[in-house]
Structure 1
Amino acid sequence: MGLTSRTTVYAMVALAALSVALLVWLWPRLAKPGLWQVLGRLCAIGVTQVTIVAAFACGVNSSYQFFGSWGELFGDVDTAPVGVTQAADQNGDGSVNGISSVHGSLVQPAGNEQLSRVSGLPKGPAAAVGRVESVKIIGKRTGVVDPAFVYLPPQYFQKAYHRMRFPVIVALSGYPGSIFNLAQHLRVSQTAGELQGKGQMQPTIMVMIRPTIAPPRDTECVDVPGGPQTETFLAKDLPEAVRSVYRAGHDASAWGVMGYSSGASCALQLTMRDPHAYTTAAALSPDYKVKDDPTTGNLFGSGPGRQARVDGHDLMWRLAHLPAPQVSVLVANSKHGEKGYAQTQAFIRAVKAPMRVASILPENGSHNFPTWVREMPAALKWMNAQLTFPQDVVPRHHPRRTTEADGRPGPGHSPLRAEGTPSRPAATTRR
């Protein structure tokens, strides 16, 4: 029985009910005085409580997919094959579930068990409604294998756009979180599809992934000394893998990252620490400093370099002591109902040029999915205004228009538009 299956949930509920029934039946026999009777009562109460809590935990996990398997729950995670270096397609024209994957590809097809439970996904021809693929991202540097959902917009499959590279938004879950939460409860792909269908967002690839690469440990998007290299995986391995298979933008200006809760903190960390990976971040209810706690363990190691690593992951410290990166970030926090509002205000005040900051500051809201779902459309439209538009892929029969020696469009260059398509959708107001 799988950890997230309904069979497991029903079995745990039945076991909890049986434990309660046995407790009621045995209690008169255990009510007599004596040491063994006292120990029996304690054991009966303990077993009953454990089974009830286990049944409740299985039900919650089945709904929110915090852990996808028994292996993940106990820390037994998949690892990448040794020596994976080959990309699936040199020009990034692949579609993982539509074309047989190449051996050694950094993106491999994955099972659709979680994806099949997500409601509201596009149904119909991919060229009309887009498609969501269930894949595994393989980190060439880190050896990490992480599940992901990839939303490809309808234009990705249309002939008019067949030479276009699309902007990418990476959506990160909180901890322990899962890609199921991003698709089902945050409605990442559904919201993006609706906005793109209304012309309020340019065609964009959405990559839904969890930053918890070594479950059950929370690594907080940190390269742990001697441990999981989460930052390297998300900042280097993930973009490289996606570009190797999909027609995704080459330049960091086409890449943004967003998240909720600890995933929001991660989005800010990735963008401010490495603007060559992501130039735009949207953070829904973030923290601004990474700290050790019982779920993280020691994230920064020991010795003389520890304090430097701690400071490097304190965003307020970075704003006060380091040059501001040339990035754009959006932060969201509710004035009433969330504890991070004062920190968010302090962060906004601390930002200085060339870094830019925008905010979503509703009067009321809680640290939960209903609040983040309300903020999602505004966050995605804001990110749409920051990311570069589809970039021309190297044509086969026509010379490529460039202004830089490396063969990429230079600053201010307008990418070649698909015939009969606008150069950009209707502008949205920056919040």
Structure 2
Amino acid sequence: MFGFLLSLFALQFALEIGTQTSESHPSITWELNGARQSGQIVIDSNWRWLHDSGTTNCYDGNTWSSDLCPDPEKCSQNCYLEGADYSGTYGISASGSQLTLGFVTKGSYSTNIGSRVYLLKDENTYQMFKLKNKEFTFTVDVSNLPCGLNGALYFVAMPSDGGKAKYPLAKPGAKYGMGYCDAQCPHDMKFINGEANVLDWKPQSNDENAGTGRYGTCCTEMDIWEANSQATAYTVHACSKNARCEGTECGDDSASQRYNGICDKDGCDFNSWRWGNKTFFGPGLTVDSSKPVTVVTQFIGDPLTEIRRIWVQGGKVIQNSFTNVSGITSVDSITNTFCDESKVATGDTNDFKAKGGMSGFSKALDTEVVLVLSLWDDHTANMLWLDSTYPSNSTAIGATRGPCATSSGDPKNVESASANASVKFSDIKFGAFDSTY
């Protein structure tokens, strides 16, 4: 009886849905086992207007309203999550199989920076994928993405309904982009499990739109694609469990606990430039980033033993580059051996192995995952870990990841000079090996 009363209390004060902007999801087509699918795109709840029953902001800039959100319960009681104007506010458009994400969009009431969206099966449910022994393919155009930007496509183990069934406070659910988590255990999520993350909230000093709260939200992540026109990587991140975190479990850098948390934040990555081939990916190179390219990723085995990359451009199939670094066997895919050798060669902590390696990641993939597409700049490390040298003064093996200058990537400069940047994703396909390209 006591639990029943608690449930009624939670439902009574669940985050409400606003009515000032109707939620109309952009439509997109994709293919599953050769059959055309009709999907929808939804923007993450973190980007949405959060207000009271009128037009007063519950969250303004990078701070919570002390009146409307003095604690998580009052925040859920007082606040409404609004629908989205996808093109006018967020610079997001879809046509046929193509999705375009704009970088800086000047709307009627605010300027929006970047976005993160998910593929929906229907208006209330994320499309779920089981990756093992399957192939995922898409076409991408990063020609309009300079240094410091990341047009990303990846999978995370977030709930199919955005947490709505398990957490009554998460009433808006997947329809309004709730439930995000990833292997970085982000503390910047305004709502975790439907509960406002207002406790210990600290505005971020160099980002006028973001802050961090007491809790993080952790889950397994497979970065299929992180890229701009100068560099690209795909990365495996294993987590020992998927959960809201607090304290040591979050693995926070600020507490010097990066490798004590439940997720492998570094991951095991394959970046052609980093591993010795500086002529493979980029404008005018073997894979020409000035033109659209089709990217194929194969998840081999169950249990998973290998993740393989194939490229298609100009009607030609291009095999992935091979590693050419001292201490790493010449390979062109991600395996346990590659991950172990690359960590030894670079001197990096092998947290991937500590979290179970490929076996642990394979077990995590027994859970279905959600497709995420995003465009962002980096207020923490200026994206140097993707396209430049990181740490910026390092001469160690693997420190250089791309040709961008170590002075590049400052969000203030990127947002000013590259406001019109964009990324285009299209022709998403999922099926058996060698069936999608």
Query: Which interval holds the TM-score relative to the shorter structure?
Result: under 0.3
More helix, by proportion: 1
TM-score normalized by the length of structure 2: 0.27
More strand, by proportion: 2
TM-score normalized by the length of structure 1: 0.27
Whichever of the two has the greater Rg, that structure is 1
| Greater RCO (Cα-Cα under 8 Å, separation 6 or more) | 2
